[in-house]
Structure 1
């Protein structure tokens, strides 16, 4: 059985589709994967479950940070030299 996607509007008025079964752990709540299409063929970004925002960013190390509430996912690999 396919997981139903939730349609969410971005601040730019674009509709993205959130899959609440695909998550990355955040400090304040999970980040769910968001897709540009309902068939999941084009990954769009992430949806912050803590404040229900799509306004977040990911860096090259895999850190995700919500620009609204500050929820953060630590990078995949961490090195003190990157601080």
Structure 2
């Protein structure tokens, strides 16, 4: 686990193995505690930020660099 500080000064723990592929770089899972009990959010490795948004279908988009993960769920009604 890598230890990082958020912009608010909180310490978070970033998994080096738990994450998903993005269009510009991986999104890694960040946790509030080193024992991974509480998830904090996603860490964009492309621009090294926690400023990401996720929608109900599992898409992740970095609000700073535009790194993007495709949805993990798909609704056939949108075809």
Answer whether TM exceeds 0.5 for this pair: yes
- Residue 76 (structure 1) aligned with residue 77 (structure 2): no
Q: Shift in Å at residue 47 of structure 1?
A: 0.5
RMSD, aligned CA: 1.6
Aligned length: 78
The one of 41, 46, 50 equivalent to 1:45 is: 41
SS in structure 2 of the partner of residue 26 of structure 1: coil
SS in structure 1 of the partner of residue 33 of structure 2: coil
Name the stretch that deviates more: 27-36 or 14-23.
14-23
Structure 2's unaligned 5+ residue stretches are none
The corresponding residue for 2:57 is 61
The corresponding residue for 1:7 is 3
**Structure-1 separation of matches of 2:69 and 2:57:** 11
Structure 1's unaligned 5+ residue stretches are none
- Structure-1-length-normalised TM-score: 0.85
- Residue 28 (structure 1) aligned with residue 24 (structure 2): yes
